[in-house]
């Protein structure tokens, strides 16, 4: 009976999707073969495994821009991932794409992120490269740290939930979407040790599924919008600054035209809502146009066609201007930089302490010690990293 249910579920999946979508029944499979689930497609199963993973739960206490202790309402890596998934599904459905695969990729794309956001990643990357140099590894070959690759490492190796394999044993398509950036050096390494071809496109050219492309763009849409909200909530950005950005100013004017006298947070929320909606519609229209222009009828053509899920030229320019504004005025704000400097100090000093004294961390496994230390630190939440640093060094950086 289970096999019949699984077949029926796969057929439902086939019937509602466009021919160029990723169909679960045609997946390239898992690293370790498993029987189909009776009531879920393989991509739904991936999503469920991600949601139940330890790494996913930790995202609630990992920094997006503002540290968790700076306020209860700022975005975290978890709420960001949920917003990416919501935006992704909103775009996927009218295009006939696989919403389950979009959701799985969106929820998993930041599983490998360090505590303290990009500041933590940069510090851990520098620590790993320095460890490689000390070990006599050439600069171009020194193993660094990159959160996309770490996310893949989490789902392939680091999660320990199943008796038959390490990791979550996700489908090729979900893993491919998680690995949205990859250097050629890293891609060559993955080709040698992985065997599934998950990084091959970074060596041979080509594109991932439309669902993976969509998640990449939904990530950008989400963080631009919620960083405006968080920036204003924090007091680091003001309305007078933000309304000078053409994209924001345009939708602020629309909001006031529809609702004269609107002000405060309601005006901010309505401006962001209008901006998000228009960006979603823009991506849908442009993607439909590109699919038609290229005559795309299946996934293999998607892989050969180059980027297909894109903004229009005008929206891409407007989005780039917003990103530049946020970089100058929020991400490089003195208060944010001061927090980032302290966070990087914590990561560097934790790395040094654990590398010098393995007894300071619980049950360090055998193997390449710097990489294992990086795995351990990358898995920390902000507050755990802060507590560990205080324990080891007796210094309170974030009272």
| The predicted structure's pLDDT at residue 19 | 96
Give the tens place of pLDDT for each residue, 35-88: 999 999 999 999 999 999 999 999 998 887 766 556 566 788 999 999 999 999
| Closest residue by Cα to residue 279 from 228, 334, 319, 327 | 319
CA 216 to CA 338: how far, in whole Å?
A: 29
Give the tens place of pLDDT for each residue, 123-142: 999 999 999 888 776 655 56
Phi-psi region of 141 (alpha: psi -120 to 50; beta: other; left: phi over 0): alpha
Q: How many CA atoms lie within 13 A of 218 on its CB side?
A: 28
- Burial string for 331-359 (b: 16+ CB within 10 Å, else e) reads bebeebeebbebbbbbbbbbbebbbeeee
| The predicted structure's pLDDT at residue 1 | 42
In the numeric block, which tokens belong to residue 383? Answer: 């507050």
Phi, psi (rounded to 5 degrees) for 270: -70, -40
Three-state DSSP at 209 gives coil
Question: Rounded to whole angstroms, what are the CA distances from 218 to 83, 89, 291?
Answer: 9, 9, 18
What percent helix, strand, coil does the chain show, rounded to 5? 65, 0, 30
Residue numbers in the chain where pLDDT is lower than 70: 1-14, 66-73, 137-142, 363-368
| The predicted structure's pLDDT at residue 195 | 84
Phi, psi (rounded to 5 degrees) for 72: -75, -20
What pairs with residue 76 in β-bridges? Answer: 63
CB neighbours of 362 closer than 8 A, spacing ≥ 6? none
For 295-352, give the DSSP string. T--SHHHHHHH---S---HHHHHHHHHHHHHHIIIIIT-HHHHHHHHHHHHHHHHHHH
| Closest residue by Cα to residue 336 from 235, 243, 244, 241 | 235
| The predicted structure's pLDDT at residue 101 | 98
Whose tokens are 């975005």? That residue is 75
| The predicted structure's pLDDT at residue 369 | 87
| The predicted structure's pLDDT at residue 270 | 96
CB atoms within 10 A of CB 52: 12
């Amino acid at each position: 009976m289970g096999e019949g249910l699984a077949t029926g579920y796969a057929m439902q999946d086939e019937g509602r999707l466009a021919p160029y979508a990723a169909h679960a029944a045609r997946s390239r499979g898992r690293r370790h073969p498993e029987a189909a689930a009776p009531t879920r497609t393989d991509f739904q199963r991936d999503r469920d495994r991600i949601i139940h993973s330890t790494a996913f739960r930790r995202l609630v206490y990992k920094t997006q821009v503002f540290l968790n202790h700076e306020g209860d309402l700022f975005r975290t890596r978890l709420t960001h991932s949920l917003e990416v998934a919501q935006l992704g599904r909103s775009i996927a459905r009218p295009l006939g794409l696989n919403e389950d695969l979009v959701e799985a990729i969106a929820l998993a794309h930041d599983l490998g992120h360090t505590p303290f956001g990009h500041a933590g990643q940069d510090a851990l990357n520098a620590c790993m490269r320095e460890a490689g140099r000390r070990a006599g590894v050439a600069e171009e070959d020194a193993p660094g740290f990159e959160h996309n690759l770490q996310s893949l490492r989490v789902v392939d190796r680091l999660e320990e939930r199943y008796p038959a394999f390490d990791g979550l044993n996700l489908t090729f398509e979900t893993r491919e979407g998680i690995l949205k950036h990859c250097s050629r050096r890293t891609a060559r390494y993955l080709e040698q040790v992985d065997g599934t071809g998950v990084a091959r496109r970074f060596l041979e050219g080509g594109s991932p599924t439309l669902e993976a492309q969509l998640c990449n763009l939904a990530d950008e849409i989400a963080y631009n919008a919620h960083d405006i909200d968080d920036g204003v909530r924090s007091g680091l950005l003001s309305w007078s600054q933000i309304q000078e950005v053409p994209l924001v100013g345009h939708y602020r004017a629309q909001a006031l035209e529809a609702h004269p006298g609107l002000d405060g947070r309601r005006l901010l929320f309505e401006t962001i809502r209008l901006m998000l909606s228009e960006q979603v519609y823009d991506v849908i229209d442009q993607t439909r146009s590109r699919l038609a222009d290229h005559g795309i009828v299946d996934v293999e053509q998607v892989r050969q066609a180059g980027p297909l899920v894109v903004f229009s030229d005008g929206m891409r320019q407007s989005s780039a201007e917003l990103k530049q504004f946020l970089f100058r005025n929020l991400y490089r704000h003195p208060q944010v930089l001061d927090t980032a400097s302290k966070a990087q100090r914590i990561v560097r000093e934790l790395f040094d302490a654990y590398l010098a004294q393995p007894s300071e961390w619980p049950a360090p496994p055998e193997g390449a010690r710097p990489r294992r230390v990086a795995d351990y630190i990358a898995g920390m939440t902000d507050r755990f990293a802060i507590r560990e640093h205080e324990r080891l060094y007796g210094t309170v950086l974030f009272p």
